[in-house]
A and B are shown apart, each in its own frame.
Chain A
Amino acid sequence: EVQLQESGPGLVKPSQSLSLTCSVTGYSITSNYWGWIRKFPGNKMEWMGYISYSGSTSYNPSLKSRISITRDTSKNQFFLQLNSVTTEDTATYYCARYLTTRVLAYWGQGTLVTVSS
């Protein structure tokens, strides 16, 4: 059974970079597509981007200048980096595996990241 677990700092200062790790067990990240999604206070959800089985990436246009998704296949992990964060980036961040085209079937438990000085 595939399982995903997010990890990373829960507090980031404005203007710094947010870095999160998604550790995957039970399934190889060299198959399928793997995404990051966030849920803001107030419940709005936003798809951030994905990394594919081959390492190609696609990002939400609204984040394209600030986001990077990378991976380490030897550790079966993929990563999110979001640069120049502001308080508006405060959210619960989820990693997920796609089921089929742009459908997210397996989610991590989520990690709350607060941007505050």
Chain B
Amino acid sequence: DIVMTQSPSSLAVSAGETVTINCKSSQSLLSSGNQKNYLAWYQQKPGQSPKLLIYLASTRESGVPDRFIGSGSGTDFTLTISSVQAEDLADYYCQQHYSYPTFGGGTKLELK
């Protein structure tokens, strides 16, 4: 298994702030064949199913606002949400798609 470790587990923010969520994998997610990193990010709001935000570390899914930015390579990845809005309060999960999928433990984004 590739183990995914997210930090922090929770984060209290004010509207308008920029937040960073970290995700570390136990082995590299960088494919030597195509130089792509196989890391995805999901958002889950209470009572809803997960929503894909980003895949291949930095490719935004269609319709996802550009304030969501994925970055990183190898084993260290970041989801940055710039100018957080109230609608962004949710749980966020990273998931590696290099091999059979495994997920991080989640980060809860709360209002300060």
Contacts and interface: CB of A to CB of B under 8 A. Distances in A.
Contacts of B40: 103-104
B52 A104 contact: yes
A108 B51 CA distance: 10
Range class of the A interface residue count: 20 to 34
A105 B93 contact: no
Interface in B19-52: 38, 40, 42, 48-52
Q: Is the interface of A mostly helix, strand, loop or mixed?
A: strand
B52 A47 contact: no
A102 B101 contact: yes
Contacts of A99: 52, 55, 61
Interface of B: 1, 38, 40, 42, 48-52, 55, 61, 91, 93, 95, 97-103, 105-106
Interface of A: 37, 43-47, 58, 60-61, 94, 99-105, 107-110
